[in-house]
Amino acid sequence: VDLIGIDDVRRAAQRIEGKVVRTPLLPTLWGAGDRPLWLKPENLQLIGAFKVRGALNAIGALPDGVRARGIVTHSSGNHGQAVAYAARAFGVKATVVMPDASPVVKMDAVRALGAETVIVPGKLRESTSEALAEEHGYTLIPPYDHDDVIAGQGTIGLEIAADLPEVATVLVPIGGGGVISGVATAIKALLPQAKVIGVEPELAADAAESFRRGELVEWPIEQRYRTIADGVRVGICARTFRHIQARVDDVLTVSEDAIRDAMGVLARRSRIVAEPSGALTAAAYLTRGVELPPGPVAALVSGGNLEPDLLASVLAS
């Protein structure tokens, strides 16, 4: 079998319990009557994103002796902070290879969590992390193309199922596809009648196109990088596409304007700060809600790391 199962997600939940914030489902007053909206605010995790779940599970699943040799990853975003945090939680060394174009504030955030950073030209990030893994015996923890990472993100689905068993639709953003693969695994096992629907920016809709065509389609990086939603500019991989094909009911896309508007609504009406990727699901709810099945909707707010100026601009608009 080439898909993870609900038991993998359950084991992940045991591994990470007490090490992550057990986020509540937040009711809202801005949902429509027959589709009441709940938010799963993973921006409230310590590092501001759900990524800590997968990193903790993947590092926690390693044999002690392997883990003790250290961890390496490459990331310009939330996954780097997640690995740094998770490694520290287990008391092992982490090295995060970062593109030299990464914002200094993100490099500093990784260092503040006790990880070593290695700054390289963007195109060398993967080869550098592989070389470091080989040289030092580090274990490479990729951001989504990894069963233990997917199972860790899937714990979000367990929590939604426990807190809102009457949920009709679960909205999940898609970047590399790790979190929707895990969440769909949990939801379909526990609440088979519920729909799991992915959300992408129109400008980085490789998963939507792949889903529709029934085969994995890659979008050129220069296309994907047009969206404001920097957390989902990566493409899905074969592993996550298999999970999406088997367990996801649909993939919707939203405009850049809808993403910005949703960030403002989340801040004003639900008092949480979402990064553009984190606002994708709210954008889908607000602009395409009539296409969803009737019944309660749970929308994953995946993260809240963004430049303060951007947040200020969506509030003023």
Binding mask 6-25 for a copy of itself (x = CB under 8 A): ---------------xxxx-
* 44/197 with CB nearer a copy of itself: 44
**Position 112 contacts a copy of itself (CB under 8 A):** yes
**Position 183 contacts a copy of itself (CB under 8 A):** no
**Position 235 contacts a copy of itself (CB under 8 A):** no
* 235/303 with CB nearer a copy of itself: 303
Given 28, 139, 245, 255, the residue binding a copy of itself (CB under 8 A): 28
- Residues near 118 by Cβ (< 8 Å), separated by ≥ 6? 95, 96, 97, 98, 128, 132
Reduced to 3 states (helix: H, G, I; strand: E, B; else coil), residue 215 is: coil
**Position 267 contacts a copy of itself (CB under 8 A):** yes
**Position 162 contacts a copy of itself (CB under 8 A):** no
CB of 201 to a copy of itself, least distance (A): 21
- The Cα 129–Cα 243 span in angstroms is 26
* 212/268 with CB nearer a copy of itself: 268
CB of 112 to a copy of itself, least distance (A): 7
Tracing tokens 């990464």 back to the chain, one arrives at: 102
Apex CA 148: angle with CA 6 and CA 185, to 5°?
Answer: 30
Is residue 197 within 8 Å of 311, Cβ to Cβ? no
DSSP bridge partners of 300: 40
Apex CA 12: angle with CA 132 and CA 109, to 5°?
Answer: 45
CB of 207 to a copy of itself, least distance (A): 25
Is residue 258 within 8 Å of 286, Cβ to Cβ? yes
**Position 117 contacts a copy of itself (CB under 8 A):** no
Given 1, 101, 290, 316, the residue binding a copy of itself (CB under 8 A): 316
Given 273, 280, 286, 292, the residue binding a copy of itself (CB under 8 A): 273
- The Cα 302–Cα 106 span in angstroms is 17
**Position 118 contacts a copy of itself (CB under 8 A):** no
CB-based burial, 155-164: b 16+ in 10 Å, e otherwise: bbbbbbbeeb
- Residues near 48 by Cβ (< 8 Å), separated by ≥ 6? 78, 81, 275, 303, 304, 305
Chain centroid, CA 193 distance in Å: 23
Tokens of 238: 């074969």
* 237/266 with CB nearer a copy of itself: 266
CB of 39 to a copy of itself, least distance (A): 9
Stretch that binds a copy of itself, among 92-100, 192-200, 268-276, 279-287 (CB under 8 A): 268-276
114: left (phi over 0), alpha (psi -120 to 50) or beta: left
Given 210, 227, 270, 281, the residue binding a copy of itself (CB under 8 A): 270
Reduced to 3 states (helix: H, G, I; strand: E, B; else coil), residue 236 is: coil
CB of 242 to a copy of itself, least distance (A): 32
Hey, which residues between 33 and 72 contact a copy of itself (CB under 8 A)? 41, 43-44, 46-48
Binding site for a copy of itself (CB under 8 A): 21-24, 26-29, 41, 43-44, 46-48, 112-113, 264, 267-268, 270-274, 304-305, 308-309, 311-313, 315-316
